[in-house]
Structure 1
Amino acid sequence: MAEVRLREATKQDLDKIVAMLADDRLGSKRERYELPLPECYLHAFMAISADQNNELIVACRDNEVIGVEQITFTPYLTHQGGWRATIEGVRVSASVRGLGIGTKLIQYAIDRAKVRGCHLVQLTTDKQRPEALQFYQRLGFSATHEGMKLKL
């Protein structure tokens, strides 16, 4: 396999990113992958790109986008005003799953969190994705809290 490199996403990557987000049982119910992409994805991309506390990272092989993650850095009053990194939207193209690309993305996020002085890296994973939970546990994450969400 050709070398996988990580970089910040560009607007030209957006089609492939949304395709990966929509390419599973859960994502297909909440994403709208159609060309041209709905404007909402471009608006979100522009907001993420403009925010110094957000990074949208893609994994590439031979200039093809094969993975994605978003890292958000947030200051908190708890933990003596410490910063946290939150990892969201991790996806790897179905054709290359199991080749270590997800691990590379998560390690990159952890390294970025250290550079930014974060005391904690956190993420959520849907309870309907037990394989994702096992993946994150293998990387050292612990299910220490019960997360709750309210759809608006």
Structure 2
Amino acid sequence: MRLIDDFGEEIEADLFERGWDLLDYFRGVRPWPQLVRLLRRLPMWSHYQSALLMDPELGERRAREEPPEDDAAPPPLAPLHYDLPALLMLRQIDVTKELIRTVASAFSTHAVPPLPPEPRPTTAEALARARADFDQIRDVLTRLGVQQ
């Protein structure tokens, strides 16, 4: 119940926007585990997730935790919520970055390196193909005697 005490208004607003009522959980119409599962899957810009990200007490607690030690790359972006307008906006950002680089190079004595493109969603198939390509390159390098 602490969840409802701390973030009840935000949860209620998110459920209301989706056509549900928080009181359904209190009345026993819907099971409580379902609410927890739904809250975990709300997007970052939802009222509840935004309140979690901006909660000072939770932020302090997370700041005291040790960061993970693995230097692994962040997980790839899933295609969920990446529709055509979102992909077109990402393309527009990349084109704008290239324009910035071109203008900066025009006023500089040397060429400005390109800015990295915005991350795009990656499918499991693309990840598997990239892994296979990487393994093939490692195999060739090993056969040539290159230490890795």
Q: Structure 2-normalised TM-score? A: 0.24
Q: Which structure has the larger Rg?
A: 2
Higher helix share: 2
Work out which structure has the larger RCO, using CA pairs closer than 8 Å and 6 or more positions apart in sequence: 1
Higher strand share: 1
Q: Structure 1-normalised TM-score? A: 0.23
